[in-house]
Amino acid sequence: MIVSALLTSVGINLGLCVLFFALYSVLRKQPCNLKVYAPRLVAEGRAGKRSHFNIEGLLPSAGWVRRAWQPSEDELLNSCGLDGVVFNRIFIFSLRVFSVAAIIGIFVLLPVNYLGDHLRDIDFSDLPNKSLDLFTISNVKDSSNWLWVHFSAAYFITGVVCYLLYAEYKYISNKRIAHFSSSKPQPHHFTVLVRDIPSHGRSSLSDTVEAFFMDYHPSEYLASTVVCRTSKLRGLITDTENLYRRITHLKSRPSSSQNQSHTGFLGLFRKNGDLMGHYEKKLEDLKQNVRLQQSDTSTGREEVPAAFVCFRSRYGAAKALHIRQSTNPTEWVTEHAPEPHDVYWPFFSTSFTQRWISKLVVLVASVLLIVLFLLVVAFVQGLTYLEQLEALLPFLKNILKITVVSQIVTGYLPSLLLHLVASLVPPIMKLFSAMQGYIAISEIEKSACNKMLLFTIWFLFFANVLTGSVTSQFQIFLDPKTIPERLAVAVPTQASFFIAYVVTSWTSLSWELNRTITFISDLISRHCSKTNDDEFQIPSIPYYSEIPRVLLFGLLGFTYFLLAPLILPFILVFFCIGYIIYRNQLLNVYQPKYDTGGRFWPIVHNSTIFSLILMQIIAVGIFGLKKLPLASSLILPLPAVTLLFNDYCRKRFLPIFHDFSAETLIKKDREDRNDPAMEEFLDKLVAAYRDPALMPIRHLTNSNDRTSPLLSSEV
């Protein structure tokens, strides 16, 4: 890619960004769009009502940027939970790191690269037609002493990143402890999930659980709820809900005055009445059936050998959690209980064989996904090399000769395609994780986040870098000695592709801001199907797709820091835009569905360490290729030190993200001892972990997001 192609791409994307931002600020002001752009505020009744039409509302403004910028971290914590804060800290951390990196990159490394030309003539003429390679390390002469600048930069940036990582890990773990200390008593602090309860045949599972915990934890045990298999009932309730929704939808039609003529037309109203009667009878039948099933399961319950066991204190629950309960380690297995609304109930309904089979299905599906995406990546790869594409599709030859077209095709189209295809993956990954048998939605999303991270790093980075067949890609890992060298050869060649990718990502951020898909579907539904206005869902932020996406840019920044520092300012711009946009979305659009207490941070930390190590490995290879073996060997202590640092962080901070210490728990329990509200809380605790499918039928429509929580999230 030449400089002018890059500039074209930057121009297009900047233009699109500004356009989208302006569009957003206009659309945001229209009251009819409030449900798309501020569903949270609407739900919380904080959305200011304005008159129907206003000329000011059609003028773009930057007020939303100010409103997104202003709130302090404590306000963010109150509004979005610790997970929201952690997500925000990813941007702050990245901004800090890449500010330092960009300063070094642009003012130190870039001049060295550019002046390191073999010809040694400083020539700024005809800059637009020069290749971007001039700005990369490949422009520096072999065994040039200037490479020691790169060497020092590698050491310096590793030091800076490790310091910032440590500070951030410490900051977030302190936040986590403070958040816990200041939190009100919550059911999951007092509860433990017990799995693999042995059945004795004679007594019911509830009695067994009661007897066991009364025996060994007499002073601490409070109550227990045995989980029941409710898949049938769940199906019935979903049917009832759908029918109920259809009826309310039908009912709303004739009552809305503006549609009266339309519905009366052609006798549709008459037909509606018939349909209504039919539906209402069916609904009554279904409701009856649900009630029957609920009472049925209450008497002759099909119990699952799992129970939520509640204790009188947090420390009591911790004891049951951390000390192996039964002599047989495969019985009475205890786990952290998730928050009550975070429990993924369908999992308990599946039998052991079903879970076994679904795990196999996940395995096969993953393999298919890998093959599918490698094909896509191979195609996208081809686009950056126009000659290959021309050879493949000769009829395009004439079109591709037009400069603008070729620039768009090489600079914009490949990364747009990748963005699009990659956006299909997160829901699939989430489905895979759900099939693996996690008992909490947060656990499913955390697992999906890890899967997505692997996928992102492998398919968006390695598959693009290591061109060639799948087997040849994997073979690099079978021959570890050559990894640095092969990466050092392959990574720089893709610099221009990734610079273009970073630039296009700006636009994809504005898509997120505009919630384009939601907006269009809302537009269609409002003007065509006229659904009930009160029915709308507040989405929750899909951390499992957003975090890996953001982390990829960190990976790109680190790996190209030494090779092609030109990428750094573009990445910095990405993080700036992202910071504002995601703050805006967190405050206005998304509502937290669960609170993991910042457990996503260790994923971010590990990913950053991985990126650092990758950078160092590539540095080893680069200095080897550039015939500076001394630098190549002197870089080797760097990954070792980084790994030691990571090991220290694992010991120092990771346990805090798993569970709280006796010190913290006992202190908190002591505080509560004098709280008169505790009695009431403990009374309520007993009922907290009831399967929503067993709730009385009048809650049906309200328990919507409880019965099928997985489906309620935005995809």
Q: Which residues bind a second copy (CB under 8 A)?
A: 177, 216, 315, 318-320, 322-330, 478-481, 651-656, 659-666
Residue closer to a second copy (CB basis): 21 or 660: 660
The token duo for 320 is 């049951």
**73 in Cβ contact with 88 (< 8 Å):** yes
Q: If we measure between CA atoms, which residue out of 383, 375, 384 comes closest to residue 459?
A: 375
The three state secondary structure string of 129-162 is: HCEHHHHCHHHCCCCCCCHHHHHHHHHHHHHHHH
Query: What whole-number distance in Å separates Cα of residue 488 and Cα of residue 676?
Result: 65
Cα–Cα distance measured from residue 676 to residue 679, given in angstroms and rounded to the nearest whole number? 6
Min dist. Cβ of residue 325 to a second copy (A): 5
* Alpha-carbon distance values, 215 to 218, 302, 325, 334 (Å): 6, 25, 12, 16
Establish how many alpha carbons lie within 13 A of residue 510's alpha carbon, considering only the half-sphere containing its beta carbon: 18
Q: Whose Cβ is closer to a second copy: residue 323's or residue 404's?
A: 323
Neighbours of 172 (CB within 10 A): 26
Minimum distance from residue 180 beta carbon to a second copy (Å): 10
CB-nearer residue toward a second copy: 273 or 637 = 637
Q: Which of 145, 330 has the CB closer to a second copy?
A: 330
Cβ pair 416, 511 in contact under 8 A: no
> How near is the Cβ of 648 to a second copy at its closest, in Å?
9
Q: Compute the distance between CA of residue 636 and CA of residue 229 in angstroms, rounded to an integer.
A: 56
At its nearest, how many Å lie between a second copy and the CB of residue 322? 4
Distance CA 506, CA 581 (A): 11
Q: Residue 260 or 633: which CB sits closer to a second copy?
A: 633
Among all chains, which residue has been given the structure tokens 């991270």? 453
Least distance CB 49 / a second copy (angstroms) = 47
- Nearer to a second copy (CB atom), residue 58 or residue 178: 178
**Cβ nearer to a second copy, comparing 63 with 198:** 198
Write the CA distances from 382 to 40, 424, 468, integer angstroms: 43, 21, 11
The tokens describing 271, both together, are 């037909």
- Amino acid type, 78: N
Cβ proximity of 564 and 135 under 8 Å: yes
What is residue 593's DSSP assignment? S
For a second copy, the closer CB: 419 or 667: 667
Contact 669, 189 (CB under 8 A): no
Q: For the chain, give the number of residues.
A: 715
CA distances from 547 to 91, 494, 576, 607, 656 (A): 10, 23, 16, 10, 21
Query: Residue 330 gets which letter from DSSP?
Result: T
Q: Is the dihedral of CA 127, 131, 134, 136 positive or negative?
A: positive
Closest CA to 164 of 92, 103, 105, 74: 92
CB of 451 to a second copy, least distance (A): 21
CB of 465: closest distance to a second copy in angstroms? 22
Find the shortest distance in angstroms from Cβ 89 to a second copy. Answer: 20
Residue carrying the six token digits 């049925």: 296
CB 323 → a second copy: shortest distance, Å? 5
Name which of 213 and 497 has its Cβ closer to a second copy.
213
Nearer to a second copy, 538 or 665 (CB): 665
Q: Residue 167 or 402: which CB sits closer to a second copy?
A: 167
The answer to whether the beta carbons of residues 3 and 133 sit under 8 Å apart is no
Nearest distance in Å: CB 620, a second copy? 18
CB nearer to a second copy: give 265 or 474. Answer: 474
Closest CA to 283 of 237, 344, 338, 340: 237
Nearer to a second copy, 647 or 675 (CB): 647
Pick the closer one to a second copy by CB: 623 or 653.
653
SS (H, E, C) 366-378: HHHHHHHHHHHHH
Min CB(16)–a second copy separation in Å = 47
Query: Based on CB atoms, which residue is closest to a second copy, 241 or 331?
Result: 331
Write down the least CB distance from residue 127 to a second copy, Å: 46
Strand intervals (E) in 296-421: 303-311, 333-336
In the complex, least distance from residue 218 CB atom to a second copy, rounded to whole angstroms: 10
Question: Min. distance of Cβ 429 from a second copy in angstroms?
Answer: 25
CA 137, 141, 143, 148 torsion-angle sign: negative
First to last CA, the chain: 35
What are the DSSP calls for 190-214, one per residue?
SEEEEE-PPP-SSS-HHHHHHHHHH
Beta-sheet strand order (sheet of 303-311): 221-228, 303-311, 191-195, 333-336
Q: How far is the CB of 677 from a second copy (least distance, A)?
A: 25
Nearest CA-CA partner of 494 in 456, 461, 471: 461
Query: What is the nearest approach in angstroms of a second copy to the Cβ of residue 328?
Result: 8
Q: How far apart are CA 160 and CA 630, in angstroms?
A: 23
* One-letter identity of residue 258: Q
Q: Which two tokens stand for residue 611?
A: 């990126």
We find the least distance from the C-beta atom of residue 168 to a second copy, in angstroms, to be: 17
Please name which of 520, 646, 694, 559 lies closest in space to residue 36, comparing C-alpha atoms. 520
* Closest CB to a second copy among residues 288, 328: 328
Nearer Cβ to a second copy (173/349): 173
Q: Are 164 and 97 in contact (CB under 8 A)?
A: yes
